[in-house]
Chain A
Amino acid sequence: NAGVTQTPKFQVLKTGQSMTLQCAQDMNHEYMSWYRQDPGMGLRLIHYSVGAGITDQGEVPNGYNVSRSTTEDFPLRLLSAAPSQTSVYFCASSYSLRGNEQFFGPGTRLTVL
């Protein structure tokens, strides 16, 4: 199993550009989520999904869109990048919500100029 994979590893954008961060898992996990990690702020939940076709907002959803058309994939879209979105982004997945630990991807480091 590859586990949770994320692409790209690094990305530099200009303000106003759009892009999609890819996340995939091969463990047949129902639950997937996106976090951003910023110094001094820990991990903050952006969006999450409890299964294919179902998504919901986390703590900091503004400026991001997600979709879950398959169990395996959970892409995160930045609609119009802003410098405040400079961060490290982590995707995670787990079997279900009921007390199961999440498996994290290696992260994408995004810089918005």
Chain B
Amino acid sequence: AQSVAQPEDQVNVAEGNPLTVKCTYSVSGNPYLFWYVQYPNRGLQFLLKYITGDNLVKGSYGFEAEFNKSQTSFHLKKPSALVSDSALYFCAVRADNTDKLIFGTGTRLQVFP
């Protein structure tokens, strides 16, 4: 079975400060890992993914994520937060031997001016 955990329901950060949104996963095979963002009353938008190779992945809007196999984590980061980054963020995982993409419960990011 595969699962994803996002331990924080909400993350608050001041504009200009670095942000981290945490994600840990559990799969039986090699993981494909994704981050998505959801703005109010919208569908999900893809941010970035880890398939193989470099552990540091860069994505849209200045976001990046670091794959850590030993800690089974894939934390989302941004060096300098913007108020417009405020949204709901989802981590998702699919093992390379399954057909199912499983999402975490989401983390609400609030960036304060």
Contact = CB atoms under 8 A, between A and B. Distances in A.
A41 interface: yes
Contacts of B46: 101-103
Contact of B44 (A41, A45, A90): A90
B94 A107 contact: no
Contacts of B92: 43
Contacts of B32: 99
A101 B93 CA distance: 11
Contacts of B42: 106-107
A40 B49 contact: no
A48 interface: yes
Contacts of B90: 42-43
A50 B43 contact: no
A104 interface: yes
Chain A's interface: helix, strand, loop or mixed, by majority?
strand
B58 to A, nearest CB: 14
A88 B3 CA distance: 21
Given A40-B105, A97-B94, A101-B34, A56 B99 contact: yes
A99 B49 contact: yes
Contacts of B43: 4, 90, 104-107
28 contacts: A4-B43, A31-B99, A33-B101, A35-B103, A42-B90, A42-B103, A42-B105, A43-B106, A45-B101, A45-B103, A48-B99, A56-B99, A58-B100, A59-B100, A90-B43, A90-B44, A97-B99, A99-B32, A99-B49, A99-B52, A101-B46, A102-B44, A102-B46, A103-B46, A104-B43, A105-B43, A106-B42, A106-B43
Given A43-B90, A103-B46, A106-B43, 16 more contacts: A33-B101, A35-B103, A40-B9, A40-B105, A43-B106, A50-B99, A59-B100, A59-B102, A92-B44, A97-B99, A99-B32, A99-B51, A104-B43, A104-B44, A105-B43, A107-B42
